[in-house]
Amino acid sequence: MFAGAAAAGIGDWIAFSFFSALAQDYTGITPASAAAGMLVGARLVISIGWALVVFAAVLSAIQTACPSRRDGLRVAACRCGAIWDTPGASGRLARRGSRRTRRRIPATIRADAMLQITHSGVRAWAAALVRLASGSLLVAAPVVVVVVPFAYAVTAVHNDVLLAAGCGLSVSVGLDLRMREPVGSSMGVLVGAVAGMAAALLAGLVPGNGVMWIVPPLVALAVGLVDGLRTSSPRCYRHAVVETLTMSGLIGAGLLPALGVGGLLSCFLVTPPTAFIVGALARRPAGRPVVRPPVVLTFGSLAMLGFAIDGVTREGLRNGQPGGDALLNAAVSVPTAMIAVPIAMFLAARAAAAWIQPRLQVYRQLVEYLRVMWIPIGGFAFGYLAIILVFAGFSGMLARFDAGAFSGAGDAGIGEWIAFAFFRALAQDYPGIVPVSPGAWLLVGVQVILAVGWALVVFAAVMSSIQPRLERIARQALQSTGE
């Protein structure tokens, strides 16, 4: 599909994606099939759309703040309350009737009401489970779309891809269920995607999936991201233990399909030293004295380090290393993997998350704007796609009747012609099919003029039509901010 990609690594693919997003050719990797051309073209369209639509919305919303709000759900309680608060004929009779009537009628009312409450509670629980499952799927889908292709770009080992995908899915869904806030889904997707890509890098770089070099950095990275995003900031050693234990459990559950029970147990075994690091580096309020670490946590961390050193030493002896070399290797590698690398990962992740956290707020303000722009922009995209399909048919028909109109179009199918028209609509050359005859060049020129005119005139008309609604949203946001 790509020429020159036989020995390409993740750095080459990132550079290729970067140049393609800027509509520039990357020397060394070239799309050589219709599918590859469509993939590059789709990425270019997404980049252009992001630059036009989102940047325009950012400029419109730069002085407004309109975060989306999500009300809490009290379905079962509201329904039950409505049943008891609605007086019926039997209820009025019970209130006005005699003592004998009051003894006889409430039993019927009570049975009927309890039956309705039971049915209402079952429906409420079923609806809550459906919402929970759908919310988890909405969080998991973006993580899979991001992590799985990135992992395959890093390594060709399927088990490593499974390790990265499981880690990202577990962390993202777990954080979404744990926070239960409007920001929970977005933070879960962000942390889960970063954790999954980090797991892919570690699994691809570490031979044999050594858990000592994969698990401690992953746990420290996840805790640092959560701390930097201020979704749950540990302030003392007790909070650090809870946060680290939670992240260890989530990552261990994600590693279970790829590494089995050993991966899950290794996540819990690294909890004491990682919690010790997080507690020691926690951001405490000004003026608060430094608290000594708990004795149990200190001894637990030392015990885990000693256990790891013993295990690495025994493995070195089994591989034929001398006793002194095996012990020296363990004494250097274990503290590096379980202390030095997690400290660096935790500090880097927390600093990066703290830097990006206020810059993510602008996307929460774009929700109302994108809701207004969604339908007009969809109509614009539909017209643009219609131009591509129509001229793909014209180009294919011209090639059928004039074999010399295009070079390299001898066995081109509809997929190749759509890819050719797609690239020509973006004023880009499509490798493999080149217009040769004057008629072919005239057809390509007309398509480019129509596509550029559609992009300029119709897009401007769309923005002009929705401008009053954007201004109304901005005024409402300013009024709510003033209140």
Residue 28: per-residue pLDDT:
64
Q: What is the pLDDT of residues 276-307, one digit of tens each?
A: 988 888 876 665 666 788 888 889 889 988 88
The rounded distance, in Å, linking the Cα atoms of 243 and 271 is 10
Indicate the average pLDDT of the chain: 75
Structure tokens at 12: 């080459």
Those residues whose C-beta lies under 8 Å from the C-beta of residue 359, and which sit 6 or more positions away, are: none
Instruction: Give counts: helices (H), strands (E), the chain.
Output: 19, 4
Residue 390: per-residue pLDDT:
92
**pLDDT exceeds cutoff 90 at 344:** yes
**Confidence label for 66 from pLDDT (cuts 50, 70 and 90):** very low
Query: What separation in angstroms does the CA of 105 have from each of 87, 109, 116, 122?
Result: 13, 6, 17, 26
Torsion of CA 281, 283, 284, 290, to 10 degrees: 20
In degrees rounded to 5, what are phi and psi of residue 407?
-95, 130
Those residues whose C-beta lies under 8 Å from the C-beta of residue 177, and which sit 6 or more positions away, are: 132, 136, 184
**Confidence label for 72 from pLDDT (cuts 50, 70 and 90):** very low
Quick check: 226 and 175 in contact, CB under 8 A?
yes
Lowest mean pLDDT of 75-84, 209-218, 378-387, 391-400, name the range.
Answer: 75-84
Averaged pLDDT for residues 25-51: 60
Nearest alpha-carbon partner for 116 in 79, 91, 87, 90: 79
Residue where the block lists tokens 């302030």: 235
DSSP states along 327-345: HHHHHHHHHIIIIIHHHHH
Those residues whose C-beta lies under 8 Å from the C-beta of residue 418, and which sit 6 or more positions away, are: 34, 38, 388, 389, 392
Residue where the block lists tokens 């029970």: 261
Structure tokens at 313: 């030493």
Lowest mean pLDDT of 137-151, 171-185, 390-404, name the range.
Answer: 171-185
The rounded distance, in Å, linking the Cα atoms of 416 and 79 is 58
In 340-425, where do the E strands start and end? 406-407
The rounded distance, in Å, linking the Cα atoms of 321 and 315 is 9
The rounded distance, in Å, linking the Cα atoms of 203 and 207 is 7
Please report, rounded to a whole number, the percentage of residues in the chain having pLDDT higher than 90: 5
Please give the residue that has the higher pLDDT: either 353 or 84. Answer: 353
The rounded distance, in Å, linking the Cα atoms of 49 and 190 is 22
Helix (H/G/I), strand (E/B), else coil: 311:
helix
The rounded distance, in Å, linking the Cα atoms of 360 and 186 is 10
Quick check: 141 and 101 in contact, CB under 8 A?
no
Residue where the block lists tokens 């946060």: 243
Angle between helices 184-205 and 99-154 (to 10 degrees): 30
Averaged pLDDT for residues 424-447: 86
Query: In terms of C-beta density within 10 A (0-12 exposed, 13-18 middle, 19 or more buried), how is residue 380 classed?
Result: buried
Please give the residue that has the higher pLDDT: either 194 or 365. Answer: 194
Single-letter code of the amino acid located at 177: L
